[in-house]
Every structure is written in C-alpha cells, then in structure tokens.
Amino acid sequence: MDSDLSGPQKFHVRPTPRVGGVPVLAGLLAALIMGWLRIGEDVALFVALLLAGLPVFLAGLVEDLTKRVRPLYRLIFAFASAGLAAWWGGAILSSLGVPRVDTVLAAVPALAVLLTIFAVGGVCHATNIIDGYNGLMGGVAIAILAALAYVSFAVGDMPLLVIAVSMVGALFGFLLWNFPKGLIFAGDAGAYLVGFLLAEISVLLVGRHPGVVSPWFPMLLMIYPVFETLFSIYRRKKRQAAAGLPDSMHFHQMVYKRLVRWMVGSREAKYLVRRNSLTAPYLWGVALFSIMPAVLFWRVQWLLQLCCVLFILLYLWLYRRIVQFRSPRWLVLHRREDVSSGESVKP
C-alpha cells in the first residue's frame, strides 16, 4: 500500500497498492505462454525482451516496496535493460533519419548502441513521469501500442505485432482496476516496464525495416512523454532546481489544477477520486494529436518531422495559457457544490 498521501506528486486519497507492474508482467507472461502453446508463434524475441526488461522492472519493484531506490539508480537499471535488449534481441537504433548523423552511426556501431541505450532509458523515465493520474499512463500507452501494432501488421512483422497486442491486453486488464477508481497503481515497476517495452518495440520496428518505417514515426508517437520530460528538465534548471526533484508543475498537474474544476475545495473521497480520473482524458486527447498523424504518415519522414514541431508548439502554447490562467473556456470543466442545498451543480 502507498500510504503517503502528501507530496507534490501525490493525488490519491486513500492507501493504494502500487504494485500494478506485477499483474502487467503476469499478463505478458500469460500471452507469451499462450502464443507458444496455442498458435506456435516464434516467441524468441518476446522472451528476450522480457528477460532484458527484468533489471529495470525489479529496480522499480524494489522502489515500490521500499521507496529507497533513487531515480538515478532506476535510470542506470533502465540503461542495463536496454543494453541487454541490444545484445540478446538486436535492438539497436542505427538510423535517426538525419543523413550526417546516420553516416556517423553506420561508421561507429558502438555509438549507435550507446545512443539506443540512452534513448530507451529516457523513454522509461518519461513514461514514469506521466504516470500521475488514474488511467493516464495506461491509456496513452495503449494508444501508442495500437499504433505500433498497426504498423507491425502493415510491414508483416508478426513477432512485434504479437508483443504489442499482448501489451495492449495486459494494460487493459490493469486499467479495469486503475481507471476510474484508482484501486491499484502501476508503480515504478509498471511504468518502467511499459516504457522499456514501448521503446524496444519502436527500436526494433525501425531497425528491422530500414527505409520502410521512418525513425520519426516512434518519435512522433511518444513525443508527449518525451517532450514532457525534456521540458521539465529545462523548467527546473531555469528555476535552479535539481532536474530530478519532484514538483507540481508537470503538464498533467496543471490540467488537474486549472482545467478540472470538479468540486474544488471538497475533501470528500468520491469527489477527489472523480476529479483525479477526469484528468486523464484531457491528456489522452493531447497524446492523440501526435499519435493520429504518426499512424497516417508513418512512411513520410518530412511530414512526421513537421508534426513533431507542430506538437511542440501546441504543447508550449497550451501550457503557457494554463499557467497564466488564460485557458480556453471550453477546456475548463466546472462543477461546484450548492451550499444551500448540499447538491452539486454545473454552471
């Protein structure tokens, strides 16, 4: 149980188990066994990725149980998992879609491995950052996985398709308990495992189909959590705060505070839980602004790059408007309690 109800990144109202990563992994193992026994699918890649993901999963699980694993150590374990995936599964990002950089990566394979390890570790951390409200991380991850599954099917990559669809199933099972009532949290183990597999499927999809799947396809797919992380680092450095220090200024937290005005001031658990769960759909919508064009233009590199720029501009514009209390009125959800009648009313 997570009984710590205070802190800048705590928005639950009752002690809640934060070991959701365990049933997510169990769901993936069930899918792996089913694929092996029932349909005879080649599961060697699936096995390699799950084994490679154990270091970062276990580091997250120890943090969930003890709260004594520093973010730096979890990031190091994410790098270790990425290194194992590169070794066992051949998950190496040898192209970024930038001609001169690609030439260097082709000439220096070790640099490509280091770049892959850094990118995978970054996505693990980014996925953990957006795991702040009921259904947020799980919903965004399912949308990204659906896009990865679609492109895997389009290029005929059945092993990656099986892994992506298995993850969708495991996360749907998790979301049944996590959204909307928040009966269980993914925890660091769940968020880091999901982030690791999202990154590895992306790296493999690009690496196994060079010249077909643009490296900017997974970049656009995951630009919301990735840019959220980069912007958070920039924001904290600008305030001369430690880059890894928790705060309450993430985009999803600003949405919760400034847009979801549901029974603000009430301390009743049912209203607090409802307000928490109403935050995730806002961010699902934000993520779809990158996921939908990524699915449409997964082959067209210049359009993917343009959409990345447009998403960043949209993010910065909306974040600035929210922080300055100038949010578009149609985005604000109002609901307050009528003191005289004791009933809630929507203005």
Known binding residues for Mg(2+) are: 128, 188
Among 152, 119, 160, residue whose Cα is nearest residue 295: 152
Bind-site residues = 128, 188
Where do the H-state alpha helices sit in 1-43? 21-37
Among 11, 14, 27, residue whose Cα is nearest residue 3: 14
CB 42 within 8 A of CB 30: no
Among 304, 144, 307, residue whose Cα is nearest residue 225: 144
Q: In whole angstroms, what is the distance from residue 35 CA to residue 37 CA?
A: 6
Angle, alpha carbons 217-97-243 (nearest 5°): 75
Among 295, 28, 299, 288, residue whose Cα is nearest residue 148: 295
Q: What is the DSSP string of 255-316?
A: IIIIIEEESTT---HHHHHHHHHHHHHHHHHHHHHHHHHHHHTTT-HHHHHHHHHHHHHHHH
Q: In whole angstroms, what is the distance from residue 81 CA to residue 87 CA?
A: 10
Among 184, 118, 152, 176, residue whose Cα is nearest residue 46: 152
Residue whose pair of structure tokens reads 């398709």 in the numeric block: 161
Q: In whole angstroms, what is the distance from residue 207 CA to residue 218 CA?
A: 12
